[in-house]
Amino acid sequence: MKKIITLVILSATLFAQSTHNNTEITNENQEIIYPINQGISMSCNINIDFLNDITIIYQDSIDISTIYLDKYSNKLLKEIAQKTIDTQNNEIKSFQDLIDELNKEKKDCDSAKYKEIQEKKQIAIEDTIKEMHDTKVTNNIDIDFSNIMVSNGKNLIKNAEIILEYTENNRIKEIAKGIIQKQNDLIRQIQKERK
């Protein structure tokens, strides 16, 4: 049982000329509405939920990066986009093997721990949505791509920090710590490029 809440968030004009899977809708201001799949998985296993939620955010970053590669103007951001596609696709594949293994564990939807982590994840999603809505569309492909990647990076970090509070699984801890490190590095790299 997996329930994913899909939210539509105002994104950036980065996607204005793209026809990527017919996912864009233009509103009356010629701004682009792009579906950003930020969800809360509910498998009744906190570790599986974490991997599923990270996979969703990774897929958004992969899709955004793929679109950016078709329109890029900044060499460093192009490298970031390509690295995002390559590394996150590989990580998604490795997550599936771990999910298959974790599916053998006991599930517990009714525990206070499970409910508490779901509440924290909901708050993290709401914070991400607010940040995305507060981010101004600049009509500059590089700035808009950067803003989206930084928001996704912050969301990944929030999810990793939450799971580290609760998980006892050493592999999940390792993945979460790796995500925090990689995303902090990515955010610093993007912010340095903006200066």
Q: Where are the domains of the chain?
A: 7-194
Question: What's the pLDDT score for residue 30?
Answer: 34
Residue type (1 letter), 12? A
- DSSP per residue over 73-133, as a string? --HHHHHHHHHHHHHHHHHHHHHHHHHHHHTTS---SSSHHHHHHHHHHHHHHHHHHHHHH
Question: What's the pLDDT score for residue 40?
Answer: 65
Stretch among 13-27, 126-140, 148-162 having the lowest mean pLDDT: 13-27
Report the mean per-residue pLDDT for the chain. 79
Question: What's the pLDDT score for residue 98?
Answer: 95
| 30 DSSP assignment | S
Residue type (1 letter), 188? R
Give the gyration radius of the chain's Cα atoms: 17
Q: pLDDT by residue (tens digit) across 3-55?
A: 222 222 223 333 443 433 333 333 333 333 344 444 567 888 999 999 999 99
Taking the C-alpha atoms of residue 176 and residue 132, their distance in angstroms, rounded to an integer, is 23
Question: What's the pLDDT score for residue 31?
Answer: 37
Span 7-194: which CATH code? Answer: 1.20.1260.10
Most confident by average pLDDT, 26-40, 128-142, 168-182: 168-182
Q: Quick check: 47 and 63 in contact, CB under 8 A? A: no
Segment 133-162 mean pLDDT: 88
CA angle 54, 56, 61 (to 5 degrees): 90
Taking the C-alpha atoms of residue 13 and residue 141, their distance in angstroms, rounded to an integer, is 7
Residue type (1 letter), 112? A
Selection from 175, 173, 147, 141 nearest residue 61 by Cα: 147
Question: What's the pLDDT score for residue 20?
Answer: 38
Q: Quick check: 144 and 13 in contact, CB under 8 A? A: yes
